[in-house]
């Protein structure tokens, strides 16, 4: 294995490039005003370095682009579907595979198939689309992540772990028959890209087995989680990340997947399960909402690219360089004394907007404000992961007020260079130097679901 090397470099060279555009501050002021101070509403042509998300923004390899020419665009039973099923079986180990257009398509199928009204789904912190699908199916999400996950200063190496006592108490209080499954996400997005440990998952498995409750993984960034296990958990330093991913999946009953992250594709996802009954129900639903169960809303070429992307992603050199770049940005910011969530996560560096703007109340949307100001300063686009993302309580209608108020600098895979990271750190430093001038934002428009995508604001 190559992980004994001291430093990392990207295990690829660049064959094709896309020019970047730089705008003036006056242009950005206008664009931001028109976008209602929401970086999701900024047209990408006005963005310099795009750190909005790592979702669907990766650079595909020459092999994956070549795969796009091998699309078998038959309506039914395309050979690309077989390749995808083989890749999922080989690398994730689950037997049945239903392709979907992206991760939330798979979440929809899983939630609709397993959740009955009044059920509770425990999970290691909420994710926006995952929780919404659980709620739309009549269920309620219950957070059972360890307390350290809500503390941006805690250096716990596995902040994605489940609090076993909390999980046990929850199952006892609602009744095991009202818990259709436990949802476990790899490198927990909303906690700052923080992993769970194999030991913790094993304990979750033994607890849930006692009650006959299945585990469904959100495998979106499971590979990144596996890398942290390899590096930080005793007993795994000689395992490959691919072996660790298989071991994790062997402790679960299935997974939902957004192939737009770990699997390096621009579009695609799947639901995978060992449960034949769930598979049968998911096949019924996918045909209604996505497309036939052998393409699930994707073209044959997309299925082929995802099959190859899965295989390519399972490389120690790839994942080490990917997370190495995230850590490089995080450490550069730490050297500049910028408040960021520690430990640095797998897919992004999360700025602690509460500390950044410690003079602003949470109702002035500090993380949204920070994303807007960073854009204004530099043309670099980040994303809010705080009170706006957390939405409103379904019963009371009040804001959910998460402990974490974060602005995410998310790194697309294989897209930017170390020099882009340096420029980003400088821009964040300049935004930090001007922090006292900031008065925050007011919300002026709020959509019904997943408001962070389309909400509009104005300066307070
Ligand atoms: N689960 C996690 C942990 C995610 O981060 C996402 C998407 C999904 C599920 C849904 O997948 O977008 O393919 O439908 N996260 C993106 C992000 C949007 O920017 O964090 P999807």
Taking residue 407's Cβ as centre, other Cβ atoms within 10 Å add up to: 31
- Asked if the structure places residue 401 within a domain, the reply is yes
pLDDT of amino acid 1: 46
pLDDT tier at 211, thresholds 50, 70, 90? very high
Are 46 and 66 contained in the same domain? no
Are 309 and 320 contained in the same domain? no
Tens digits of per-residue pLDDT, 437-454? 999 999 999 999 999 999
Percent of the chain residues past pLDDT 70, beyond the cut:
99
pLDDT of amino acid 6: 73
Tell me the CA–centroid distance for residue 242 and ligand 1, in Å.
22
Beta-bridge partner residues of 127: none
- Catalytic site includes residue 112: no
pLDDT of amino acid 395: 86
Are 143 and 270 contained in the same domain? yes
- Catalytic site includes residue 218: yes
- Asked if the structure places residue 414 within a domain, the reply is yes
> Span 378-401, mean pLDDT?
94
Are 306 and 320 contained in the same domain? no
Tell me the CA–centroid distance for residue 159 and ligand 1, in Å.
19
Average pLDDT, the chain: 97
Are 97 and 170 contained in the same domain? yes
Give the domain CATH number at 43.
Answer: 3.90.1150.10
- Asked if the structure places residue 230 within a domain, the reply is yes
Query: 33, 62, 75, 422: which is the annotated catalytic residue?
Result: 75
Tokens representing 110 are: 């899983």
> Span 88-105, mean pLDDT?
98
pLDDT of amino acid 7: 81
pLDDT of amino acid 394: 81
Residue 4 has pLDDT above 80, yes or no: no
- CA gap 452, 126 in Å, rounded: 15
Degrees, nearest 5: CA angle 288-294-298: 80
Tell me the CA–centroid distance for residue 55 and ligand 1, in Å.
7
Are 281 and 380 contained in the same domain? no
Report the sign of the C-alpha dihedral through residues 239, 240, 245, 250, in that order.
negative
pLDDT of amino acid 5: 59
Does 220 contact ligand 1 (Cβ within 6 A)? yes
Residue 385 makes CB contacts below 8 A (sequence gap 6+) with: 189, 190, 350, 367, 404, 406, 407, 408
Residue 145 has pLDDT above 90, yes or no: yes
Minimum CA distance residue for ligand 1 atom 2: 220
- Catalytic site includes residue 452: yes
Last residue of some domain: 284, 313, 342?
313
Residue 378 makes CB contacts below 8 A (sequence gap 6+) with: 48, 49, 423, 424, 427, 430, 431
Are 343 and 399 contained in the same domain? yes
- Catalytic site includes residue 261: yes
Last residue of some domain: 313, 338, 353?
313
Last residue of some domain: 259, 280, 313?
313
Minimum CA distance residue for ligand 1 atom 18: 55
- Asked if the structure places residue 249 within a domain, the reply is yes
Predicted model pTM: 0.96
Domain count of the fold of the chain: 2
Tell me the CA–centroid distance for residue 261 and ligand 1, in Å.
8
Are 328 and 259 contained in the same domain? no
Tell me the CA–centroid distance for residue 409 and ligand 1, in Å.
15
Residue 2 has pLDDT above 60, yes or no: no
Domain that residue 116 falls in: 62-313
- Catalytic site includes residue 127: yes
Query: Look-up: residue for tokens 């425990």?
Result: 122
Of ligand 1's listed atoms, the one at least distance from the Cα of 186 is: 3
Tens digits of per-residue pLDDT, 235-268? 999 999 999 999 999 999 999 999 999 999 999 9
Residue 78 has pLDDT above 50, yes or no: yes
Minimum CA distance residue for ligand 1 atom 10: 103
> Span 172-180, mean pLDDT?
98
Ligand 1 test: best mutation among 189, 192, 221, most atoms within 8 Å of CB? 189
Are 85 and 209 contained in the same domain? yes
Residue 286 has pLDDT above 60, yes or no: yes
Are 138 and 280 contained in the same domain? yes
Of ligand 1's listed atoms, the one at least distance from the Cα of 102 is: 13
- Catalytic site includes residue 75: yes
């Amino acid at each position: 294995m190559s992980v004994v090397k001291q430093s990392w470099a990207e295990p690829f060279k660049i064959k094709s490039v896309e020019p970047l555009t730089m705008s003036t501050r006056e242009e950005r002021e206008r664009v931001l005003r028109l976008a209602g101070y929401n970086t999701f509403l900024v047209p990408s042509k006005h963005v310099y370095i795009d750190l909005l998300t790592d979702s669907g923004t990766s650079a595909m390899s020459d092999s994956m682009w070549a795969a796009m020419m091998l699309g078998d665009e038959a309506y039914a039973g395309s050979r690309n579907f077989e390749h995808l099923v083989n890749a999922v079986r080989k690398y994730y180990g689950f037997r049945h595979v239903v392709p979907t257009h992206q991760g939330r398509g798979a979440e929809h199928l899983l939630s609709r198939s397993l959740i009955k009204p009044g059920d509770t789904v425990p999970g290691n912190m909420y994710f926006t689309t995952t929780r919404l699908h659980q709620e739309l199916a009549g269920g309620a999400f219950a957070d059972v992540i360890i307390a350290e996950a809500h503390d941006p200063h805690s250096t716990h190496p596995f902040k994605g772990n489940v609090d076993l006592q909390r999980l046990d108490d929850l199952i006892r209080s609602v009744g095991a028959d009202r818990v259709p499954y436990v949802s476990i996400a790899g490198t927990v997005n909303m906690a700052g890209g923080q992993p769970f440990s194999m030991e913790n998952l094993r304990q979750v498995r033994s607890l849930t087995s006692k009650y006959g409750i299945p585990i469904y993984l959100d495998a979106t960034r499971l590979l990144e989680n596996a890398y942290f296990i390899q590096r930080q958990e005793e007993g795994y330093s000689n395992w490959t990340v691919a072996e660790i991913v298989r071991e994790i999946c062997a402790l679960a009953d299935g997974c939902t997947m957004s192939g737009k992250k770990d699997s390096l594709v621009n579009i695609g996802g799947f639901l995978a399960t060992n449960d034949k009954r769930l598979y049968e129900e998911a096949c019924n639903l996918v045909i209604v909402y996505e497309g036939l169960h052998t393409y699930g809303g994707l073209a044959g070429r997309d299925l082929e690219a995802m099959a190859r992307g899965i295989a390519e992603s399972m490389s120690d050199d790839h994942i080490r360089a990917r997370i190495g770049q995230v850590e490089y940005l995080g450490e550069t910011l730490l050297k500049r004394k910028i408040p960021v969530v520690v430990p640095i996560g797998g897919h992004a560096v999360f700025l602690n907007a509460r500390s950044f703007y410690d003079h602003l109340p949470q109702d002035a949307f500090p993380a949204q404000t920070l994303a807007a100001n960073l854009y204004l300063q530099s043309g670099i686009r980040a994303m809010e992961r705080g009170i706006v993302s957390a939405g409103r309580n379904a019963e009371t209608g009040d804001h959910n007020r998460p402990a974490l108020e974060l602005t995410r600098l998310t790194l697309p895979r294989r897209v930017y260079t170390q020099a882009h990271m340096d420029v980003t750190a400088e821009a964040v430093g300049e935004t930090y130097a001007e922090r006292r001038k900031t008065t925050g934002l007011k919300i002026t428009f709020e959509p019904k679901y997943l408001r962070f995508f389309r909400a509009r604001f104005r300066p307070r």
